[in-house]
Amino acid sequence: MARIVHTFDNPQRFVAGTVGAPGERTFFLQARTGSRVVSVSLEKQQVSLLSERLLELLDQVSRAEGLDIAYRGPADLEPLDSPIQEEFRVGTLALGWNTETQQVIIEAHAATESFDDVPELEEDANEGPDVLRVRLKCTLATAFCTRANAVVSAGRPPCPLCSEPLDQQGHICPRANGYLRRG
């Protein structure tokens, strides 16, 4: 089956968001331009790592090219656009910088059995996993990171003893000799 490439060049909206209660949340990346919306699911750790690496890339670009990357617009606190229809589950994320257009390139590739199946950044091969490709100006990439970090940290609070997430009922804490620890 032919590979589907969902491309968004400076979308109106590119955000990380969740559906569900803390501890049972499903994380999504969502891009929107006009009425076209693409949502892909991924792990919380992938969202966190994407934001971390994106901020590192933006810092390097800012220093190397003297760009002002600060986002000065309002924070995007709106929920994900509905209906949320998962296109695929993300397996691999790729990140790059286009010097000519001064845009960040983010690619979220569908999960596959082998990393060898994933094409190079911005390669439009006919075969391979489906991909969500988003190109963003620096300020929008910074805004994405701000929201992504807020979404990741909005989960369950950590246990003060072992740092594992606490449920409403508590959790079996290894540092409390296996006793139920309540928040």
Question: Is 168 inside a domain boundary?
Answer: no
Question: Is 181 inside a domain boundary?
Answer: no
Instruction: Please tell me the pTM assigned to this model.
Output: 0.84
Question: Is 83 inside a domain boundary?
Answer: yes
Sign of CA dihedral 158, 75, 130, 88: positive
Question: Is 162 inside a domain boundary?
Answer: no
Question: Is 86 inside a domain boundary?
Answer: yes
The CATH code of the domain that includes 46 is: 3.30.2450
Question: Is 126 inside a domain boundary?
Answer: yes
Helix (H) or strand (E) holding 47: helix 44-65
Question: Is 149 inside a domain boundary?
Answer: yes
| Residues 6 or more apart whose Cβ sits within 8 Å of residue 14 | 8, 29, 30, 31, 32, 106, 134, 136, 140, 144
Whole domain around residue 129: which residue ranges? 5-156
Question: Is 147 inside a domain boundary?
Answer: yes
pLDDT in tens, the chain (183 residues): 588 999 999 999 999 999 998 888 999 999 999 999 999 999 999 999 999 999 999 999 999 888 778 777 788 989 999 999 999 999 999 999 999 999 999 999 999 887 667 777 777 777 889 999 999 999 899 999 999 999 998 877 777 777 777 776 767 777 777 656 565
Count of domains forming the chain? 1
